[in-house]
Amino acid sequence: MIIVMKGFLYGQTEYNMLNNSIHLSDYINQAKSFSFDFLSITDPNLYGNYKFYTQCQKQNIKPIIGLEYAYRTEDQNISHALLYAKNNNGYRNLLKISTRVKLEQLDDLDEIMQYDDLAIIFVFNNSFLERLLYSKEFKILDEFCQKIKMFKDYYIGVSYTNNLQKINLNKEMDEYAQKHGIRCLPIHQCKYLTNQDVIIYEALTAIAGHPIKISDYEDYSFEINPLEDERINEFVNSINLNLFNDKIELPTYPNTKGVTSKNYLQALCYKGLEKRGCLLANYQNRLKYELEVIDKMGYNDYFLIVWDFVKYAKQHNILVGPGRGSAAGSLVSYCLGITTIDPIKYNLLFERFLNPERISMPDIDIDFEYTKRDEVLKYCINKYGIKKVAPIITFGTLGSKQVIRDVGKCLNMDNKLVDFIAKKIDSKLSLYDNLEKVKQFLNTNELKKLYKISLKLEGLKRHTSIHAAGVVISKYDLDEIIPLSYHDNYYITGYSMEYLETIGLLKMDF
C-alpha cells in the first residue's frame, strides 16, 4: 500500500502582508500537530523563507519553497502561477524572479521559461473555471493548455474543498486536464488556522481596506483535510533543497593597488600610526598583534571597506562620529581614522571587539551626519554595485493599541468605547500580558469579541520599512543569496537583521 504524503502546496503566511492571518510559527506548529509530511510557503515574496525553512527542518517537516507569481494573460487579465524551487539552483532562480517582479520587469509568463529547475502549478479561481467549463468556452482553455505545454514541469492546481458545487467543478477540470495530457495536483490555500478564525481574516482584510464576506472564504481554513492523492508524492519527492549551509565569502576591497589586502592594510596602519605620533614599542606591539588577529580571522578586507567609506565621508565634509562601543578598543581602527580614540591611552581592550577564541563578525558602528548618511550609502552602491549593497528591511507589525483601534473600526464600534479600552493597554506589553489588567473592563460580548480578534491579529506583519542604520555589503549579487525588495532607486534586503547575520552576510551600521 502506498502511503500518501500529507501537506499543503499553496501555503501562505503573515508575510503576505494584510492578506493572511497566520503567524508563520503557528503555521508550522499546526502542521506538526496534524502530522504533515511536508509544508509549502508560497507568499508573493520570499521574505519568510529562511525562518520557514529552518523551523520546518526542526519539526522534521519537508519544506517546499515557492513564489506566487501574478502574470498578465493575453486578454490582459491577471492570473496566478505557483513557482516552486526543485533544487538549490531553482531556489536561486526564484530569488532572481522575485527581484524582477519587485522592479515590475516581469509579468509575462513566457519569460519564466528562461529559468531552470522550477516546477509550476497554474492556479484558476473557481469563477474562471465555471466560465470555461460550464459555458463550454473550451477554446480559451485549449489555447492556454497548449501554451503551458512549453514548460518543462507544469501542473494545473485543483482546489480541494468541502463545497459540493466546487468539488464537481474541480472534478470536471481534472477530467479535462487528463484528457489533454496535463497533470493536475490538489492544492489548498490557507488564509486562517481554524474555521472559527475566519472572522479574524475578515477583520484583517477590513484593516487592509479590501473587506471580504465570510462566506467567500469558508474553505480557506488549515483544518480542511488534505486530499489523499498519489500525485502529491511524485511532486514532493521531486523537490530537494539543501539551503543555507554554504559559507558566504566576505566582500573584498577592490583598490589594493596590486598588493594583497593583508599588506595593503598593514601599510595603511603603520602610516597612520606614524601620522598620529604613536611610535613607542607598546603601540608597535599592539598593532602587530591586532593585525595578526584580523588576518587570521579573515577580516582584512572588512577594515579596508570601512576605512574607505569613512575616508570618503570626511573628504566630502560629512560629519563622522569619534567611534563608540567595542570598536573603540581597536588600535587598527584608530590608525585608519575610523575612530579618533587612542585605545592604549584609555586602556581599552581589543579582545572586546575581536577575539580569536570567540568567532564572531566584527561590528563597527559608524555615526554619520543624519542628513548626509544617504551620500555614504550611494558611494558604496556606486563602488561595489547596486545589487551588492542594500539597507536592511524591517517589518512594521500590528501593535497592541493600534490593533484594538483598527478592529474596533472594522466592527463599527463606538469610538469612545474603543478608545477607552486602548488607553488601558500598556503598549510595552502584549495584549495577552495586558489581559489580567483590562479584563474587568471587557464587560460586554462586543468588547470581548474586540479583544479576542485583536489578540489573534497582534504582531502580524503590516508593512515593510528600512532599518535606521543597518546596511549589508556582499561579495556577490545579493539576489543570489537572499530575496530583495526595491525602494527609492536602491535595493533593500528581504530578510531582517537577525537572519542576515545568521547566514553569514556582512552587516555594517551607518
Q: What is the pLDDT of residues 218-273, one digit of tens each?
A: 678 887 665 567 788 999 999 999 999 888 888 999 987 889 999 999 999 999 99
SS3 473: strand
Which residue type is seen at 197?
D
Q: Residues, the chain, total? A: 510
Which residue type is seen at 219?
D
What is the spatial distance between Cα 508 and Cα 377, in angstroms, rounded to a whole number?
11
> Which of 457, 458, 460 shows the shortest CA–CA distance to 15?
460
Cβ burial of 63 (10 Å; 0-12, 13-18, 19+) is: buried
What is the spatial distance between Cα 11 and Cα 84, in angstroms, rounded to a whole number?
12
Under 8 Å between Cβ of 192 and 22: yes
Q: What is the pLDDT of residues 6-63, one digit of tens each?
A: 898 999 999 999 999 999 999 999 999 999 999 999 999 999 999 999 999 999 999 9
Backbone angles phi, psi at 489, to 5 degrees: 75, 10
What is the spatial distance between Cα 94 and Cα 396, in angstroms, rounded to a whole number?
25
Q: What is the pLDDT of residues 202-213, one digit of tens each?
A: 999 999 988 877
Q: Could you tell me the pTM of the whole model?
A: 0.91
User: Which cell numbers in the block locate residue 367?
Assistant: 555615526
User: Which cell numbers in the block locate residue 312?
Assistant: 570618503
CA distances 456 to 32, 204, 463, Å, are 20, 10, 17
For 38-122, where are the alpha helices, taking DSSP H only?
Answer: 49-58, 88-102
- Mean pLDDT of all residues in 304-308: 97
Bridge partner residues of 396 (DSSP):
463
Measured in whole angstroms, the distance separating CA 314 from the mean position of its chain's CA atoms is 35
> Which of 355, 294, 364, 287 shows the shortest CA–CA distance to 323?
364
What is the spatial distance between Cα 502 and Cα 240, in angstroms, rounded to a whole number?
22
Higher per-residue confidence, 175 vs 254: 254
What is the spatial distance between Cα 401 and Cα 411, in angstroms, rounded to a whole number?
16
- Burial of 15-31, coded b for 16+ CB within 10 Å and e otherwise, reads bbbbbbbbbbeebbebb
> Which of 344, 346, 345, 364 shows the shortest CA–CA distance to 354?
364
State yes or no: pLDDT of 169 exceeds 70.
no
Cβ burial of 303 (10 Å; 0-12, 13-18, 19+) is: buried
Residue 360: its pLDDT value, please?
Answer: 77
pLDDT over 70 percentage in the chain: 92
Top mean-pLDDT range of 149-153, 193-197, 492-496: 492-496
User: Which cell numbers in the block locate residue 476?
Assistant: 556577490
- Mean pLDDT (the chain, rounded): 89
SS3 157: strand
What is the spatial distance between Cα 390 and Cα 492, in angstroms, rounded to a whole number?
5
Residue 163: its pLDDT value, please?
Answer: 57
Greatest CA separation for the chain: 91
> Which of 409, 458, 21 shows the shortest CA–CA distance to 206?
409
DSSP 370: G
Under 8 Å between Cβ of 449 and 370: no
Bridge-based pairing of strands 154-159 and 118-123 is: parallel
- Tell the residue number behind the cell numbers 487579465, with chain if given: 77
SS3 14: coil
CA distances 153 to 97, 158, 228, Å, are 17, 16, 21
Cα–Cα–Cα angle for 45, 48, 50, rounded to 5 degrees: 120
Residue 109: its pLDDT value, please?
Answer: 83
> Which of 475, 421, 490 shows the shortest CA–CA distance to 453?
421
DSSP 225: P
Under 8 Å between Cβ of 31 and 61: yes
Q: What is the pLDDT of residues 315-367, one digit of tens each?
A: 999 999 998 889 999 999 999 999 999 999 999 999 999 988 877 778 888 99
Q: According to the 3-state scheme, what is the secondary structure of 120-137?
A: EEEECCHHHHHHHHHCCC
Q: What is the pLDDT of residues 76-134, one digit of tens each?
A: 667 889 999 999 999 999 999 999 998 887 777 888 888 999 999 988 765 666 666 65
